[in-house]
């Protein structure tokens, strides 16, 4: 590791010298400046690498703007449970083939899930929270939507892709 650092700093010093030589030939007046610059720029070469690593990770946090841009339609689906009445609202959804839909899934009080086995959709939403799902419906059909813990209590729906 220290070997690598010294090689990098050696190379940077060499590059600075190489860059300085033609400058000196062209402009003699610039001569005194390069000496303090050499130590400053070699130090920045050593500390620079960690910065680009964190840059790609931060782009995922801006997903809200990119999903809105790619979705053809945004649907709010409430996952209601008040008074023991377990329902998706709305429970019957219709889309066209090829449509990309952003679902905003909001649980009222309890844990719910938004599961469509045939489409590989499985989103779990904690009580009182809202999760987002973006999905492209590329196969026509009628699909059964269920909330796993409340399926037997009637918390089911249908997704029709025309």
Residue numbers of the site for Cu ion (CB under 5 A)? 112, 147, 150, 155
Nearer to Cu ion, 93 or 155 (CB): 155
Helix 2-26 crosses helix 34-47 at what angle (to 10 degrees)? 150
Rounded to the nearest whole angstrom, what is the least distance from the CB of residue 3 to Cu ion in the complex? 59
Reading phi first (left if > 0) and then psi (alpha if -120 to 50, else beta), residue 157 is in beta
Question: What does each C-alpha distance from 67 to 51, 136, 138 come to in angstroms?
Answer: 27, 12, 17
Nearer Cβ to Cu ion (45/133): 133
Closest C-alpha among 136, 147, 137 to residue 106: 147
* Minimum separation from the CB atom of position 142 to Cu ion (A): 21
Q: How many residues does the chain have?
A: 162
The three-point CA angle 34-9-3 to 5° equals: 160
Nearer to Cu ion, 112 or 159 (CB): 112
Pick 16 or 123: Cβ nearer Cu ion: 123
Give min distance, CB of 130 to Cu ion, in A. Answer: 14
Looking at residue 111, the DSSP 8-state letter turns out to be -
Least distance in angstroms from the C-beta of 150 to Cu ion: 3
Minimum distance from residue 125 beta carbon to Cu ion (Å)? 9
User: Toward Cu ion, which CB reaches closer, 72 or 76?
Assistant: 76
């Amino acid at each position: 590791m220290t070997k690598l650092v010294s090689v990098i700093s050696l190379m940077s010093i060499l590059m600075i010298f190489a860059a300085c030589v033609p400058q000196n030939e062209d402009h003699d007046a610039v001569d005194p400046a390069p000496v303090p610059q050499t130590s400053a720029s070699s130090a920045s070469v050593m500390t620079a690498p960690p910065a680009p690593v964190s840059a790609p990770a931060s782009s995922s946090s801006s997903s809200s703007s990119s999903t809105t841009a790619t979705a053809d339609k945004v649907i709010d689906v409430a996952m209601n449970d008040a008074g023991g009445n377990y329902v998706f609202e709305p429970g019957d959804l219709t889309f066209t083939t090829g449509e990309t839909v952003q679902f905003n899934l909001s649980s009222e009080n309890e844990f719910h899930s938004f599961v469509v086995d045939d489409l590989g959709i499985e989103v779990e939403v904690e009580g009182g929270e809202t999760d987002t799902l973006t999905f492209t419906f590329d196969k026509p059909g009628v699909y059964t939507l269920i909330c796993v813990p409340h399926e037997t209590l009637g918390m089911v729906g249908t997704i029709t892709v025309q």
